Structure formats: structure tokens, C-alpha cells
Structure 1
Amino acid sequence: MESHVFGLLVWTLIGGTEYLHIPALGWVMFVSVFYWVLTVILFLIYLTMAHTRIPQIPWTILGICFNGSASVLYLTAAVICAISLNVAIRERYYFISWVASTIFASLAMVSYAENTVVNFKSWRSKSEET
């Protein structure tokens, strides 16, 4: 759940600035908004227990793939944010927002990576039972 909050913070912190002056931050916005929307959708699916009505989908493997891809892409987003800070030094007004977005992108990456490990352990324990 914290990955959802961190992702929201990333795109709101960047979205509130003139990030279009640094084209690489467009990638960060894409990653954060894309995974935020998908995380909300998956959260609602689990909250409403809709996943129990669709047993054809391997939810644990879906979680591994989703969280794993989010980890990797948030890693690229955090690195891009960090590299973009050199340009942001000239734009002193936005520097703090971009530093904070770098930190929250890193926290989102760690959170998604932790969820990947949890889903993998769950999948492995289910495969060992059969």
C-alpha cells in the first residue's frame, strides 16, 4: 500500500513544477502515473474480492510480474530524477520538489521490490505444497 502513496507523491511533486524543461522527467511522470493507476486498480480488485471470482488469472504470478516491473522502472525513474538534479540546481525554486521526488521514487522502488519478494515467497510456498 505504501508504494501507492510514494508513487502519488512522486508525480504530484514533479507535476507541480515546470518539469517539461527537463525532458527526462517526462519518463518519471509516465512511470509514476502509470503504476499509480495500475496499483489503484489492483487495490480495488483485491478490496472488492473480485480476484476470487476470476480464478483463471494466476494472481500471485501477476503480482510478481507487476511489482517486479514496477521496481525496475521506478529504479530508472529514481536514477533519472537524481541525474536531473544537476539541471535543477539552476531552477532553485523546484530543486526541493525534485529532491523529494527522487527520494520518494527510491522509496517506491524499494516498496515494489519488497512486494515482489513477498509475492515470490507466496508463489513458491504454493508450488511446494502441490
Structure 2
Amino acid sequence: MEIDSESRIDRSSADRTSKSSNIESLGLSHSKLAYDGNFIRSACGMFMAGEIVFGLLVWTLIGGTEYLHVPALGWVMFVSVLCWVLTVILFLLYLTTAHTRIPQIPWTILGICFNGSASVLYLTAAVVTGVSSNVAIRGRYYFISWVASTIFASIAMVCYAGNTFVNYKSWRSKCEDT
């Protein structure tokens, strides 16, 4: 029995080796994404986690109401969902260090542009939600959701602005080193 199990182990490792060499002969390689636990503890990672949480709260609070009756809230939904999806994608790229495999993209400049734009968009979204909440009939059950989404949009805007500042400082230090 021991001989059979050893020969099976040898055959399975030979199969893996041949599959690996077949992949390499086709010009393909294995991709190994690494988890970067330090990213979550960095200022950029904490800001991005806040952006994800507060952005999610904004669009779920508005999405759970009859926001289509107030056309301006469609803009808030657009901003919050778009920024949330893009932030989640960027967060996963940074968390798995996949961004290091694409050195052609200037990641700090991309961060400055994206976070700066998102902070301006969230500022407009917070203003629009706040104004729409004041116009809405206060007796409706979703008035509280709109007020809460105004607060969370403001906090998300602060997170994006903070992340813009962190990315700017990182870019500035790279410029001074060269």
C-alpha cells in the first residue's frame, strides 16, 4: 500500500510539472496576488474603507426610498454608486497589490484625480440631498433617510478629501526624491 501511495504522489507531482511547463510554453504565467495587510492600516487604506462604508450607506439609504419622486436625488444615486464601485475596485487592486503589476499607470496621480473629483462630486451630492430633504414633506417616512444620507455623504466627502491630501503628500515626496 505504501508503494502505491508513493507512486501516486510521484505521478501527481509529475502531472503538475507537465501542466506548469505547458502553461509556460504557451507564454502564460501563473499570477500570484499577495494580500497587503499593511495597506488597511495605512492612512490611504483607512480613508478608502471609510469611503466604502459611508458611500454604501448613502446609496442604500436613498435607494430604499421613493427617490424617483425627487429628480435631484437621481444625481446623488449616480454619484454614490459610481464612486462606490470605483473605490471598491481600487481598494481591491491595492489590497491584493495588483496595482504593482501595472507600472505604466501613475497610481498616486490617479489617486489625486479620482479622490479629488469624488470629493467634489460628493460635495454636490450632499448639498443636493440636503436641499431635497428640506423641500420634501417632513411627514414622509423617508425624510429621516434623506437627512442621514446627507450626513453620510458629507462624511464620505471628507474621506475622499483626506485621501486626496494623502495621495498629494505621497506624490510630492516622490517628486522631491527625484
TM-score (normalised: structure 2): 0.72
Q: For 2:112 and 2:96, how far apart are their aligned partners in 1?
A: 21
1:86 equivalent in alignment to 2:167:
no
Q: For 1:91 and 1:6, how far apart are their aligned partners in 2?
A: 26
Q: Percent identity?
A: 83
For residue 12 of structure 1, what is the aligned residue in structure 2?
Answer: 60
Q: For 2:139 and 2:118, how far apart are their aligned partners in 1?
A: 29
* 3-state SS in 2 of match to 1:17: coil
Aligned residue among 59, 78, 83 for 1:35: 83
Q: Which runs of 5+ in 2 are unaligned?
A: 1-48
RMSD: 0.8
State the shift of 1:90 in Å.
4.3
The answer as to whether partners of 1:10 and 1:104 remain within 8 angstroms in 2 is yes
State the shift of 1:32 in Å.
0.1
Q: For 1:109 and 1:73, how far apart are their aligned partners in 2?
A: 8
Q: For 2:113 and 2:139, how far apart are their aligned partners in 1?
A: 37
Q: Which runs of 5+ in 1 are unaligned?
A: none
1:101 equivalent in alignment to 2:149:
yes
Q: How many residues align?
A: 130
Aligned residue among 109, 115, 118 for 2:163: 115
More helix per residue: 1
* 3-state SS in 2 of match to 1:57: coil
Q: For 2:138 and 2:70, how far apart are their aligned partners in 1?
A: 12
Question: Which structure's CA Rg is the greater one?
Answer: 2
Query: What code does the residue aligned with 1:59 have?
Result: W
State the shift of 1:86 in Å.
1.9
1:76 equivalent in alignment to 2:133:
no
TM-score (normalised: structure 1): 0.97
